[in-house]
Amino acid sequence: MPDKDYPKLGVVGHSVKKVDAFGLAAGAPVFVADEIPRDCVYMAMVFSPHAHARILGIDASEALAMDGVLAVYTHKDVPRVIHTTAGQGYPEPSPYDTYMLDDKVRFVGDRVAAVVATDRHLVREAVKRVKVEYEVLDAVFDPREALKPGAPVIHDEPQARMPIPVTYDPKRNLAAHVEAIVGDVDAGERDADVVVEGYFYHHQYQHSPIEPHVCLAWPDPNGRLIIKTSTQVPFHVRRIVAARLGIPIRQIRVIKPRIGGGFGTKQEVLLEDIAGFAALQLKRPVLFEYNRTEELRSSRTRHAMYIRMRAGAKQDGSLSFIDMHAVMNTGAYGSHGLTVLSNTGSKTLPLYRWPNIRFIGDTAYTNLPVAGAYRGYGGTQGGFALEATMDELARKLGIDPVKFRRMNHIREGQTSPIFEALGEGKAGVPQTVNSCGLDACLDKGADAFGWDRPIPKRVDGPIRRGKGMVTLMQGSAIPDIDMGAASIKLNEDGSFNLLVGATDLGTGSDTVLAQIAAEVLHVPVEKVIVYSSDTDLTPFDVGAYASSTTYLSGMAVKKAAEKMRDRIFDVAARLSGVPVDELVLTDGAVQAGDKGLVTFERIGLSTLYEKDQQQLIATASHIVHQSPPPFSAHFAQVAVDTETGIIKVERYVAAVDCGQAINPALAEGQIEGAVVNGLSAALYEELRYNEKGALKNKDFDTYKIMGTMDLPRIRTILVPTHEPTGPFGAKSVSEICINGPMPVISNAVYDAVGIRLREAPFTPEKVLALLRDKGY
């Protein structure tokens, strides 16, 4: 274990208190909507009631006549720049298919016109008074239908394009296409002793951060645009808003305060462009916040996906081939439509040693609300299909599913051809797995769960019990694309300011990054004051996505802190007369041989006030050339009520290899939150529409997310490994565990009652229908 081979850690590896937690627990005014300037005005959007229509005319006169209504903006009033809302690196691997406002609407809930008024209630009233004349067009909602000849063309505007050279054919509603072929699946199938085949449907649901999207934009006294926004990607917001408004990037400052959860939906530029436009037009602060209905319908969702699977294995348990064909629904716009699709293969297939692989995927535009980044990012959809398929193979071979995984999973020192074949908008990057604790995850998880103990299946009356397990992988950052940077400066009391572009959206990354700096500099975490995500003040970072912050930004912090340590040594050598190579860092000071301690306070005072004054400051950037997967094994016990079809998850164990956990309590929190989000999606949540594509469940009463009453007993086990390319051995932990619940429930329900759940969510109706077919 790491302790033996690596130096003992003082701050890293300890569950220090989250640096912002006391303020948050006290309800401090730290979120965007908590501090509203006195002269603030309010924006609300007129949203489309039609799934597909052309706007023939907009009559805003009645709204504008209302006392306190300041403006109504339509497509005729705003810059016409086609772009993407996806907050990704540049150039974005998502199609440019979205205008700030357009003369066409493509889903129920699409932007039509923006209204600004002096009061937050008034603006909602004014929205109702805007009259819009539409020419309603035929709509299509099923991605398989949308790809057929003759389907309504959703993006008929000639300007729609991909900014990178990949397949994109909006005339066919094709937003993305991906193919990766390794070996020969037909030959693999001929060699296989057993073959399983089936299709899976992963449904559409919404992230549901408790704080909906919200943004406050205002012009500063010199006309620059300041945007305080609930975002995961402040630097991408700055770049994309500049492009949309046609103003220089230098004219925009984006500030990220505390964020009330994101989970991917705030990796989008959804409000900032038009709020910023209005702020510059009206020369006043503009608050634009979504209500819950708008958050569910007009932000972003999980990409729904159909996956057809064929896979085979030999009688000895070795794998022969896998053939995976995905059709993904991106909704009306193509945000993340290519990269979620490619990750459906790249975050799942390398987990096992398939000699022959075919992965083909198509992403279709439809007239439904728009999908986007969501924790798990393809790994969730692909993981469902893959892990249920692995369960079926194991059962057909008569091999215990844990043993079957052990026989076939990737190990340290091994690679997968998929790493190179599937990238994010370009070819992938070959990599060898440097750290893999999956065997230990299987050992400890199975032991904690009691996998080898039989579960009495038949209990009282209609209840049947069963158990299931899965193994999982994800990545850590996007190789050769993502960059994170950090600066650190010394103060005269021996404390440090750590400035990071990295974006803490509630995950605790400010704390984790402070711990990394504190570890390098041998100070307690209280001496590292973190300020993050302000495009005027902090260095660049791509933002909080792709499980990148600890691994990528953490390494930037480590490098910056090491540079600072070297600067400190230089000054300590000058002050003490002891050469640098004889200096040793100790608690908050430099041990200068027999000359005693030179404290950081002394160094800070000297450099700022005494002689040859200078600000000690160090900056470092980090890019990565691999995306080391975290690994995980999940186990669950379910009880199926054969009379009602209700599934109850009774026990859940998640064993996770995230390398060295920088802060174990925060790492556990990531796992527990992801598991419950995954359980909620698998069992309860689904965006449901009427025949015209209008969302039916528009509030938390009808769109149920999991609360405490449904909670199983959850046991989290951190399995330490050491990832040599990560800071202090760390890999990612934030996304991986959301991929477990859906397949693990499917596998456990099969164990209980012999039905295979292939279509999520697993509602009582679906369960009952399958039970009836089975003769229950």
Residue 622 C-alpha from the chain's centroid: 20
Residue 35 sits in the site that holds another protein (CB under 8 A): yes
Shortest distance (Å) from residue 262 CB to another protein: 8
Q: How far is the CB of 694 from another protein (least distance, A)?
A: 18
Q: Contact region for another protein (CB under 8 A) — 40-48, 140-148, 384-392, 711-719? A: 711-719
List 209, 219, 372, 628, residue binding another protein (CB under 8 A): 209
Considering the complex, state which of residue 616 and residue 676 has its C-beta at the smaller distance from another protein: 676
Least Å from the CB of residue 472 to another protein: 16
Asked if 38 touches another protein (CB under 8 A), the answer is: no
Binding residue (CB under 8 A) for another protein from 413, 708, 765, 775: 708
**Considering only 180-188, 379-387, 675-683, 745-753, which stretch makes contact with another protein by CB under 8 A?**
675-683
- List, in order, residues 6 or more apart from 115 with CB less than 8 Å away: 43, 44, 45, 46, 60, 63, 69, 71, 72, 73, 123, 126, 127, 130
769 binds another protein (CB under 8 A): no
677 binds another protein (CB under 8 A): yes
Closer to another protein by CB, 27 or 158: give it: 27
User: Among residues 11, 12, 33, 472, which is the contact residue for another protein, using CB under 8 A?
Assistant: 33
DSSP string, 598-612: EEHHHHHHIIIIISS
Q: Is residue 459 a contact residue for another protein (CB under 8 A)?
A: no
C-alpha distances in angstroms, 415 versus 151, 230, 259, 418, 726? 42, 38, 37, 9, 18
How many angstroms from the chain centroid is the CA of residue 54? Answer: 33
The residue among 27 and 413 lying less far from another protein, judged by its C-beta, is: 27
Sheet of strand 583-586, all strands in order from the earlier edge strand to the far edge: 583-586, 589-592, 597-599
Smallest distance, Å, CB 351 to another protein?
Answer: 24
Using alpha carbons only, how large is the chain's radius of gyration in Å? 27
Question: Among residues 18 and 489, whose Cβ is nearest to another protein?
Answer: 18
Rounded to 10 degrees, what is the CA torsion of 177, 183, 184, 189?
A: -110
> Which strands sit side by side in the sheet containing 463-473, from one edge to the other?
463-473, 631-641, 647-657, 713-718
Amino acid found at 265: T
Question: Could you say whether residue 709 binds another protein (CB under 8 A)?
Answer: yes
Under rule CB under 8 A, residue 210 binds another protein:
yes
Cis bond before residue 630 (omega within 30° of 0): no
Tokens of 390: 């692995």
Q: How far is the CB of 211 from another protein (least distance, A)?
A: 5
Length of the chain in residues, anyone?
Answer: 776
Least distance to another protein, CB of residue 144, Å: 31
Identify residues 501-540 at the interface with another protein (CB under 8 A). 505-508
The smaller minimum CB distance to another protein, of residues 210 and 537, is found at 210
Check: CB of residue 684 under 8 Å from CB of residue 761: yes
Number of residues counted as binding another protein (CB under 8 A) = 56
Contact with another protein (CB under 8 A) among 8, 25, 67, 613: 25
- Per CB under 8 A, does 29 bind another protein? yes
Among 134, 141, 263, 569, binds another protein (CB under 8 A): 263
Q: Given the rule CB under 8 A, which of 4-12, 21-29, 79-87, 155-163 is the region that contacts another protein?
A: 21-29
Q: Using the rule CB under 8 A, which residue among 669, 693, 740, 761 binds another protein? A: 669
Quick one: which segment of 131-139, 492-500, 599-607, 701-709 binds another protein (CB under 8 A)? 701-709
Instruction: Pick the closest to residue 239 from 552, 556, 624, 541 (CA basis).
Output: 541
- Furthest C-alpha separation in the chain: 88
Calpha distance 507→260 (Å, rounded): 10
59 binds another protein (CB under 8 A): no
Residue with Cβ nearer another protein (666 or 744): 666
Amino acid at 646: I
Q: DSSP for 474-533?
A: --SS-TTT-EEEEEEEE-TTS-EEEEE----SSS-HHHHHHHHHHHHHT--GGGEEEEE-
Q: Token digits for 229?
A: 């926004």
CA atoms within 13 Å, Cβ hemisphere of 151? 23
Look-up of token digits 């940077």 = 485
| Contact status: 260 vs another protein (CB under 8 A) | yes
Nearest to 613 by CA among 623, 621, 602, 605: 605
Give the SS3 label for residue 9.
coil
The reply on whether position 211 binds another protein by CB under 8 A is: yes
**Stretch in the footprint of another protein (CB under 8 A) among 32-40, 314-322, 454-462, 640-648:** 32-40
Residues that bind another protein (CB under 8 A): 15, 17-18, 20-31, 33-35, 207-212, 258-261, 263, 291-292, 505-508, 663, 665-666, 668-669, 672-677, 699-701, 705, 707-709, 711, 714, 716
